[in-house]
Structure 1
């Protein structure tokens, strides 16, 4: 049977958090009433990896995290508590470069003849002739010739393995064995002199050179020749090693030859030998800056040391999933989270194959139509546009919850202030951004600068198709490239999912919309080229074309390309430029939408209940730009635009002298300064800082601001850093946050910050209750059961103090158990909300209630509830109902507009006045009990409907979870 988690807890594994560490906190997570650990990737990754997404071996555990024994011990600890785990897997790419990916190193050594050549998405026949049969490796820190003549490329000989390699610092590039004779035969006369009286060793050495020379070519990919080459390489290397060990003269000769190949710095001609050797390899070393133009392997986005895998190849799938499926079969893993599935050639096909494999090892039968609906818990990291739907035909349990985070956060943004916020932002930065135009422009920059080589491949593929038909052969390569650029820049979603023979109606609309927009923007005289591209993308001509396979291949690759383009332009660029209200700037969000209506929030939850009831619902993830509590705090600004404007302008005046001028321009820019104030406001700690804590906080803000301005790519970037601008940003941060005393900025900032922070905490509690009770599986990102004011990675990957959390939970449980009445106890937690115990309480209490009624929350209907009265807009209420059981969640929002401040709690009839929440019908004479406080709330019947008064709901606590009193007492 499919195991559906009640609630998951995300753990970030690395060398600082191991299986043993995870085992130690199992009792705590069990007491918190989490059902499953949600583990970041823990297969063998690059040494020192902080996240595990750069896997180098899919069939081994990461030794930095633990071995098989510590892994099994952790799993057994989970099972003893009735818990399980969901594992994050990475099918799209692997870590390459370095010296730790055996598959990649074999490809570099054997070229197309490698048994792993078809594992990676490599174009072995690029347009550029110099790259035919080679992999471009843009890993050098400077131009190739400069690096070579500085002696940074070093030939080595491994005496134990009998193999040659070329090293660039920690990167190893194996030498093709068929080119070993270039080394072994160099200056052979010298060896002949040394072995003049030992003819046999010299003849053996010569025969070995001949053997290497006669290896089958690395371009010959016939199976029998490939097997012969790989077999003989092993044999000849072994013979070489034996000869070098057995005959010291041969060993000395080989090492002397290696030294000669390595040249002498300041003698350029001395590096000719190494250069000619490198020219004959299955790779071409290059300056890292050329990657965007000529790289011929698919990457994860634009990261050169993450190479795409051809998961559509059954052999690749089988090999990379062998160990994972073994864990599934053994019952050690209860579900899988699929990382970056949009990078795959055909994601739906991948989901089907994975389900079939799991069904097979679990002895389940496939559906008669061959479309096995998921009987295993699979969630996918899919980012959906607000107007996009997850295809219901996909055999998955849902997404990882970005779309919920978007509506949950947006519910607490006051849309009535949008116009005023636009004016504040525009006037402060003295520029008016059009978000759509900004995204379009940044996409084109990403295409041109960072993903140019991938577009070149697409343009060449499309050109071949066009030239094969007399109706389209007049389209030029340049014209096709420009048209493709426009279509991709106008694409409204991350990607479409056309299969070999069909395109869904929704995908058709996205493609047609993109083409229409591209036509409008194109300066081309002949826009029929766009009709040709549309016909190709819609597969309208594939069935009648002799080039049908080429068309399908183009469409699939096109779909793999639009996703990285959108991600790099939106997530990693525009979200760092368009800073109007940065709580809206997160993965899966749409900053154009200033808030989410109650209707939209309810509709999203109803659709999830109907279509994806087991999908994750998240509020913070390892990819979040800002943690849930930062966003909840910054949302308060939408309720007080006037105060925000006043303080913003005052801060700018106070800090004017800290701005530097670089060639007539401000540094930081007004836009970056605007971001800085929101960042400090959102992350300022709840506790009073001393000078030492201020230094730590300032370091965090400094690191974040440097990352933000680089990601924005306006004044500096990762590729082309402007050190002067970055130095000015650092100067500004350090000056503004230089000290606590006699700081006019902080004197004005702190009172405002305290008010915003207090209201933000109440927002966080409301958002938390919503997450824990809407349809779906709630996920808690590590540490976020307490207040966390974290920024994008690496800030959000800091170590978590689990000892503190465990101690706080124990104290909380003891407090609740020893209290005669729950109500005053909970009210005190709310009054002292800054210590975080109230968030921990809410998490524990609701998860405990979920554990008591799992089917209600797992399968229950979602019913939006009507709120009436003058404060109705400030409440969100809904019910979950299943087989006669019902619970009601009610949370307040827009508390600043309600009249609350940091010292007053939003409680009592005087605040809520005559505001009523309609609730589902209950049994006669039965009332509701607030699960969170133990208070009984009387139900009032009027005109056949049932109501509860808001003033009674919020007498002692800021959110309410109601259930019939008989159900709570059971």
Structure 2
């Protein structure tokens, strides 16, 4: 490797720190000695480049040339890196290639575009449709129609001000009267409600405050990555996490370019894989950030029969008022229709315009003469039927935009002849018709729209409408099939070890809707669905009126999972829940009476006297919750891949959706407890014996023998370490315990890392293996290949 590209370093384990003004680089540096002692190899930092002042997350970047001043600036980052190196740690940094903050007064590049228009050298940076809106950038910032807001729009020298907004004035227009002044600009300030249908720039999902970047342009890539690449080249940072690559025009090309520019550093991508979907094999990355691992680890602790019974109870409890009875696939489809015609209406219209141009300019006459409404319908009907986030150039698009989807889309047309628009659109999207720039743009924008639609309809809508088991409603999850059998879990791990052995794995992140420990508690409900239903049908419903049954079910599960009825945390989470669901209120059409009813219910019900009943119910299940919490942690830390620990999760960590899960970390935790001991033991073992877990390691499922064999999930890493955990412990207890079940071990003498005085050889009786804890971590200390 050249001096500019040091030899890539692969972490053994990373620790995610959520940087913000309340937790800057100095706070991270203060935590370094503790984190080094914990056993991780790298700190994983949230975005470090200049962001909107006060941002609690940093994903709203405004300047790629500077390290964020509120965190301590570049010197603060370099000082953190030096401190980390002194303690044997490196740095992994999150980067945001897809978008920037739409805040002109803080975004120098955007300021120049608004001042100079399409002639600005920065105009190529942003994904703006200059042919729409009369060649002006629509700025949805006004609190009402412009005629009602003119009193708040004022020229101040060469700046237009609106409350705390500031926009540049086009040169020579400073002295014009307000109406002429507004007409003369390269932008058009409008009522924020117009964003839904009129916006003419690509955004992050439906967030108009984040404008899309065109990093497919080599000059834009170079300008927006120069600082990060400098820090990589100088050894300040060692690797990268790529935020939302699915929003890019060409993820394949971007990742190839980044791989070459970074010297092939360890890189993981926030790619959400649907169930059974492989990561594109041509991508030059280490793997994903790990949501696919999260789904499999969580599912291992879900009882499949109990999950089905819980669903039936949910349907009886909530069906009259919920999203048509509680069918997952139907819920997703309805959510997709709602999103594509409402939140993403502007994106759909732009896609329709591109499709119309592609058809009109196509050399094949068979593609022409398609009405825009027919193209729009075809696009919508195909998009809502995609079962993954998007197609890629390196993957056969026909496996994503399937013939089955096309057949169903055709049936949406009342006149069969008009349904031919579906074939026209599909052929263009698949590259079977048209090779001109309009066809290429259609394929690109179709893929980008597909990823936004999938994220908004599944993650941000359906997960809040279909709630029989809240722990299953996590990014990358499949609430329709929440359980994962040990056999399927082992098959998944074997594929990871074979294909992506140093991919990232997670169980809690800054984006999870509930932390791993909250989800672990909720999974126990699949082992006692009848008792849960009785609790909700009886005492919890007396005298406490919920505005709708679906919310009541979700609210009670929320306080059960959290373990405390803290109104300051539960209230905002449930308000977000009902707005995201969009059934009775939403972010943009808020129904005050309904939201007030939600607030009253939360205060009087889950966070009122009845909350004590849930606390008592949870307390009775605490040993089984503990088994899930410890089992989840140990499996995550020892399965194939590079585990990423979210801040504070080495101790028991109960958090709800953001912003609850983005509070500044307390490091070290006040009381790490048993989970802290298990976590530290596993991390230190990984650090001490990296080859046992790394790219050249092996993964071997171990099968217990006996009456309770299905309650023991176990595997060996390189025949040197064995992980064994108890699953479905409540069902196990009800069935009479282990009853002589034993776990055959690979040859050698084995010592329990969690209790070094305990040794096993040949096999371990489950009663002995799990006598002290519901989990065991064994290391070979004698025999073939052992250390003894």
Paired residue for 2:578, among 705, 709, 731? 709
Instruction: Identify if the C-alpha distance between structure 1 residues 762 and 514 changes in structure 2 by more than 3 Å, giving closer, same or farther.
Output: same
Mapped partners of 1:531, 1:506: distance in 2:
14
Question: Is the 1:929–1:964 contact (alpha carbons within 8 Å) kept by the matching residues of 2?
Answer: yes
Question: Is the 1:937–1:948 contact (alpha carbons within 8 Å) kept by the matching residues of 2?
Answer: no
Question: Is the 1:936–1:965 contact (alpha carbons within 8 Å) kept by the matching residues of 2?
Answer: no
Question: Is the 2:401–2:426 contact (alpha carbons within 8 Å) kept by the matching residues of 1?
Answer: no
Counterpart of 1:227 in structure 2 is none
Paired residue for 1:769, among 634, 657, 672? 634
Mapped partners of 2:557, 2:499: distance in 1:
37
Are 2:163 and 1:169 equivalent residues in the alignment?
Answer: yes
Task: Give the secondary-structure state (helix, strand or coil) at the position aligned to 2:333.
Answer: helix
Counterpart of 2:3 in structure 1 is none
Question: Is the 1:492–1:514 contact (alpha carbons within 8 Å) kept by the matching residues of 2?
Answer: no
Counterpart of 2:208 in structure 1 is 304
Give the stretch that moved more between structures: 670-679 or 415-424: 415-424
Are 2:352 and 1:459 equivalent residues in the alignment?
Answer: yes
Mapped partners of 1:618, 1:294: distance in 2:
38
Cα deviation 1:506-543 (Å, max 9, x = unaligned): 75354434323323444442222211112111101235
Q: CA deviation at 1:804?
A: 4.0
Task: Give the secondary-structure state (helix, strand or coil) at the position aligned to 2:173.
Answer: helix
Mapped partners of 1:301, 1:788: distance in 2:
29
Counterpart of 1:913 in structure 2 is 739
Counterpart of 2:553 in structure 1 is 674
Give the stretch that moved more between structures: 464-473 or 434-443: 464-473
Counterpart of 1:852 in structure 2 is 688
Q: CA deviation at 1:576?
A: 0.7
Are 2:41 and 1:39 equivalent residues in the alignment?
Answer: no
Mapped partners of 1:82, 1:620: distance in 2:
25
Task: Give the secondary-structure state (helix, strand or coil) at the position aligned to 1:863.
Answer: strand
TM-score (norm 1): 0.78
Counterpart of 2:408 in structure 1 is 517
Mapped partners of 1:437, 1:291: distance in 2:
28
Cα deviation 1:417-446 (Å, max 9, x = unaligned): 233222200110134122212111111111
Question: Is the 1:886–1:964 contact (alpha carbons within 8 Å) kept by the matching residues of 2?
Answer: yes
Mapped partners of 1:643, 1:3: distance in 2:
50
Q: CA deviation at 1:699?
A: 1.4
Q: CA deviation at 1:968?
A: 7.4
Are 2:317 and 1:428 equivalent residues in the alignment?
Answer: yes
Are 2:421 and 1:529 equivalent residues in the alignment?
Answer: yes
Question: Is the 1:927–1:936 contact (alpha carbons within 8 Å) kept by the matching residues of 2?
Answer: no
> Which protein shows a greater Rg?
1
Mapped partners of 1:775, 1:804: distance in 2:
27
Task: Give the secondary-structure state (helix, strand or coil) at the position aligned to 1:465.
Answer: helix
Instruction: Identify if the C-alpha distance between structure 1 residues 855 and 531 changes in structure 2 by more than 3 Å, giving closer, same or farther.
Output: same
Give the stretch that moved more between structures: 414-423 or 325-334: 414-423
Mapped partners of 1:804, 1:792: distance in 2:
20
Are 2:645 and 1:780 equivalent residues in the alignment?
Answer: yes
Task: Give the secondary-structure state (helix, strand or coil) at the position aligned to 1:911.
Answer: coil
Report which structure shows greater RCO (CA 8 Å, sep ≥6): 2
Counterpart of 2:66 in structure 1 is 60
Mapped partners of 1:415, 1:638: distance in 2:
8
Mapped partners of 1:561, 1:777: distance in 2:
31
Q: CA deviation at 1:412?
A: 0.5
Mapped partners of 1:715, 1:286: distance in 2:
27
Q: CA deviation at 1:146?
A: 0.7
Which one has the bigger helix percentage?
1
Instruction: Identify if the C-alpha distance between structure 1 residues 607 and 474 changes in structure 2 by more than 3 Å, giving closer, same or farther.
Output: same
Are 2:571 and 1:728 equivalent residues in the alignment?
Answer: no
Q: CA deviation at 1:798?
A: 1.2
Counterpart of 1:322 in structure 2 is 226
Paired residue for 2:305, among 401, 416, 437? 416
Counterpart of 1:94 in structure 2 is 100
Give the stretch that moved more between structures: 955-964 or 8-17: 955-964
Paired residue for 1:386, among 275, 296, 304? 275
Cα deviation 1:264-302 (Å, max 9, x = unaligned): xxxxxxxxx201210111011111111111110000111
Cα deviation 1:473-530 (Å, max 9, x = unaligned): 23211111011111111111111112xxxx6337535443432332344444222221
Give the stretch that moved more between structures: 748-757 or 339-348: 748-757
Paired residue for 1:958, among 774, 783, 787? 774
Counterpart of 1:351 in structure 2 is 255
Paired residue for 1:684, among 553, 558, 563? 563
Q: CA deviation at 1:47?
A: 0.5
Are 2:304 and 1:397 equivalent residues in the alignment?
Answer: no
Mapped partners of 2:64, 2:104: distance in 1:
17
Mapped partners of 2:757, 2:399: distance in 1:
54
Counterpart of 1:333 in structure 2 is 237
Counterpart of 1:894 in structure 2 is 728
Unaligned runs of 5+ in 2: 1-6
TM-score (norm 2): 0.95
Mapped partners of 2:447, 2:379: distance in 1:
12
Mapped partners of 1:417, 1:954: distance in 2:
24
Mapped partners of 2:400, 2:247: distance in 1:
21
Mapped partners of 1:81, 1:383: distance in 2:
34
Question: Is the 1:929–1:968 contact (alpha carbons within 8 Å) kept by the matching residues of 2?
Answer: no
Task: Give the secondary-structure state (helix, strand or coil) at the position aligned to 1:56.
Answer: strand
Instruction: Identify if the C-alpha distance between structure 1 residues 746 and 49 changes in structure 2 by more than 3 Å, giving closer, same or farther.
Output: closer
Question: Is the 2:92–2:238 contact (alpha carbons within 8 Å) kept by the matching residues of 1?
Answer: yes
Q: CA deviation at 1:39?
A: 0.2
Mapped partners of 2:236, 2:360: distance in 1:
54
Task: Give the secondary-structure state (helix, strand or coil) at the position aligned to 2:584.
Answer: coil
